[in-house]
Amino acid sequence: MHTLIHLKKGTPVFLIALVLVCFRLSPSTQAVLPPPPPDGGYPGANTAEGNSALFNLTTGVNNTAVGFQALFNNTTGNDNTAIGVVALVSNTSGSDNTATGVFTLFANTTGSLNTGYGVNALANNTTGDQNTATGVNALISNTTADNNTATGFEALFRNTTGTQNTATGAFALVHNSTANNNTADGFQALLNNATGKENTAVGESAFKTANADSNTGVGFQVAFHNTSGARNTAVGHHALLNNSTGLSNIAVGANAGANLTTGSNNIDIGSVGVGGESNTTRIGTLQTRAFIKGISGSAVTGTAVVVNAAGQLGVAPSSAHFKREIRPMGKESEAILGLKPVSFCYDQEIDQEGLAQFGLVAEEVEKMNPDLVVRDDAGRPYTVRYDQVNAMLLNEFLKAHRKMEKQEAAIARQEKQIEALVTMVKEQAAEIQKVSVEMEISRSGSHVVKTP
């Protein structure tokens, strides 16, 4: 009588009693016949030591069975090694299996190339191939799945048909059942994952509560509270610690993204992030300087990038969609007429080359218009809003241009008036000249003496 026994944690006494009942033989029953030569050696390089070990062997070769009913049902299987009470007891034709421990590979029948080391390791495996289980109850529920590796107490405990999983550490992937291609390395790593596939978790309790796909975590308790968030990457102590359902987040560094909860598509590098936000990149927390190679000296066209007081990078928008209270600047720009441009050199810690600079002094600009300066964390003037100065300069230029246009129009009108006056004067002069000539002729004619 060979009934598959589903071994469970905490019931070894019951299991032993059940197995002894199911497989008890009469006192006269012996191991393989004829009786062995010394040291349990048999033909075909088989070795059996223990009551009923290799009891049903027929043509199998190179098998070693040590322990009560070890390899009991093996008939044609080759190259198997079973050490322990009822180890590989159900194996019939499976080959290249190694079972060390009580109930190890207990239900295996035709599965091959499996290795089990520890009580109940791979106990329910029947036809699964190329599995490796090291530790008490490791891969205990596996039945037909292939290519799994479990190392540690109850690693991959509930796995039944999931394939190509690797679990290293006590309780690693303990609830995985049918999911494939997961890797868990660390105590309770991917503990609650049942159906999530293609996850990688390295570190104690990494992605402990997650049941989702395509997550990657390296570090102590990374993504510890993740439940259904998928495609997340967390590297560092407590990275993405409180993320629960957020998707496609990237966190690198100790406590990186620890404040993220449900937001998605965030990148936090050395920053704890902000709970609930999405589509945001945050780099650093305490840094006071930033150096990024590949920017200086690289020729590119585009729009100038600005930074606000909170450190957010972006492009200043000009669309009316982003503005309110739009009105002509008027006389507001006249404040720049009192500005005093200067030449200067920055301190060496800012500019090691000591190049000549041209610009304004923030403290002086503040006196003319406080809205034209940016302040530091202490509220002191830090820099000038040169983009605003440029807009005010444009307004003053346009005002001067319009004034000049009016003056030019007035001058043009005056020139036309002068031209008309000159023309009129010329005409009058010509008329006067004509009259003068006529008068001269008249006077000259009155003095002519007539002769007989």
State both tokens at 202: 């390295």
Please tell me what DSSP assigns to residue 191. Answer: T
pLDDT of residue 36: 56
- Confidence check: pLDDT of 29 > 50: no
- Confidence check: pLDDT of 25 > 80: no
Taking residue 15's Cβ as centre, other Cβ atoms within 10 Å add up to 20
Angstrom CA distances, 370 to 177, 311, 338, 391, stand at 66, 21, 13, 16
Taking residue 291's Cβ as centre, other Cβ atoms within 10 Å add up to 6
pLDDT in tens, 349-362: 899 899 999 999 99
Question: Span 408-430, mean pLDDT?
Answer: 90
Domain boundaries, the chain: 1-112
Please tell me what DSSP assigns to residue 428. Answer: H
Helix then strand then coil, % of the chain, to nearest 5 = 20, 15, 65
pLDDT of residue 447: 56
User: How do 373-375 and 216-218 pair as beta strands?
Assistant: unpaired
Question: Span 6-22, mean pLDDT?
Answer: 40
pLDDT in tens, 194-207: 999 999 999 999 99
State both tokens at 82: 């079973």
pLDDT in tens, 149-196: 999 999 999 999 999 999 999 999 999 999 999 999 999 999 999 999
State both tokens at 308: 């606000």
pLDDT of residue 183: 98
Q: Is 252 helix (H, G, I), strand (E, B) or coil?
A: strand
Please tell me what DSSP assigns to residue 323. Answer: -
**Residue 314 one-letter amino acid:** G
Q: Are 4 and 18 in contact (CB under 8 A)?
A: no
Question: Span 248-269, mean pLDDT?
Answer: 97
State both tokens at 97: 């299996």
Taking residue 375's Cβ as centre, other Cβ atoms within 10 Å add up to 14
pLDDT of residue 450: 53
pLDDT of residue 19: 45
pLDDT in tens, 100-141: 999 999 999 999 999 999 999 999 999 999 999 999 999 999
pLDDT of residue 452: 53
pLDDT in tens, 151-163: 999 999 999 999 9
Helices first, then strands: H and E counts in the chain: 3, 22
Q: How far apart are the C-alpha atoms of 250 and 279, rounded to whole Å?
A: 11
Greatest mean pLDDT among 19-23, 87-91, 300-304 lies in 87-91
Q: pLDDT tier at 37 (50, 70, 90 boundaries)?
A: low
Does the model's pTM come out above 0.75? yes
- Confidence check: pLDDT of 65 > 60: yes
Token pair 């905490």: residue: 10
DSSP 137-203: TTTTT-SS--S-EEESTTTTTT-SS--S-EEESTTTTTT--S--S-EEESTTTTTT-SS--S-EEES
Question: Span 220-238, mean pLDDT?
Answer: 97
